[in-house]
Amino acid sequence: MAPSHALRCCKRALNWVPVLFINLVIGWSYYAYVVELCVCKYTHFYYLVIFHLFLTMFIWSYWKTIFSKPASPSKAFGLPRVEKEAYEREERAEVQQEILKKVARNLPIYTRTAGGAVRYCNPCQVIKPDRCHHCSTCEMCVLKMDHHCPWVNNCVGFSNYKYFVLFLAYAALYCAVICATVIQYFIKFWTKELPETHAKFHILFLFFVAALFFISVLSLLSYHLWLVGKNRTTIEAFRAPVFTNGPDKNGFSLGFSRNVAEVFGDQAKHWIFPVYSSLGDGHSFLARLVHIDPEQANSVLQQNGKRLVGFFSPQILNLFLSSFVCWVLIFYV
């Protein structure tokens, strides 16, 4: 028992190594940019303002991703005492499934296993809600689980997926700002237009590291933005959810605008901030109309439609596009 407990503690400690590495890189990049480049040497004050703006949003979203506890199924998805005792006594798999099906009739569940059975988690002793999966690292079922990310030492799921996407976005912007503002000094050092100093190593290495991280993070961000637009998780992208009439990779897609609103919320003013604004409770999700009761679907869609009227209007989209263009121009003026 003691060795097992010690190994578990060591494993938990080692899980923080990637997080520590990222924080050390952030700390060094701050020193190289602010101290070696801006304060002591070469660049302009407004570079510092832009740098600290994106650094703040980057760290804010990163730490929200790390410290947001993964959401787990509520007690409503556990077996009642009588059914639980019957399930544990029963050895025949088909009878166990009948018990689970009886309980699942009263739950908002539309997905099944590949064999058509009710999805039940034995370690957690709960019927899995749609899009919920068991994480062996966190040792719990996670609502709308996307993946377990070692770089945040946490499961990315319903409770923090928005934060994770924003973390990727601000990480890419942070690296882009560094590359865009450092490249001129990088070229001058490379061509020896500036004198040899100890700052040369920091500036040259800072550009290479920022460019490398920008390319890798941007590719991951692009993939997750594609998933948001399709209303899929990483797990569902590799293994389509199975409904009563078979697998359907687009089973939870409600159209682009509603898919985006499910993650970022129905108020655009909350989109860019790592504050909770996702829609729903993580236990039930609208599936495509062929899979659910039409009256229920129409009722929910009408309710969501009222909240989203005007939300994706041309005026709103033009406002966001104009803001984005202004930021790009600021970087290169």
Q: Please give the average per-residue pLDDT across 221-239, as a whole number.
A: 96
Is pLDDT above 60 for 137? yes
Which one is catalytic: 132, 135, 149, 179? 149
The 10s digit of each residue's pLDDT in 182-214 is 888 878 777 777 666 677 788 889 999 999 999
Pairing of strands 120-121, 126-127: antiparallel
Please name which of 14, 23, 27, 50 lies closest in space to residue 206, comparing C-alpha atoms.
Answer: 27
Predicted confidence at residue 11, as pLDDT, reads: 84
149 is catalytic: yes
* Whether the Cβ atoms of residue 273 and residue 265 lie closer than 8 Å to each other: no
Q: Cβ-count burial of 273 within 10 angstroms (0-12 exposed, 13-18 middle, 19+ buried)?
A: middle
Residue 12 has pLDDT above 50, yes or no: yes
- 249-282 residue pLDDT tens: 999 999 999 999 999 999 999 999 999 999 999 9
In this predicted structure, what is the pLDDT of residue 316? Answer: 45
pTM: 0.84
Structure-token pair, residue 232: 């899929």
Q: Domain segments of the chain: what residues? A: 45-54+161-332, 75-154
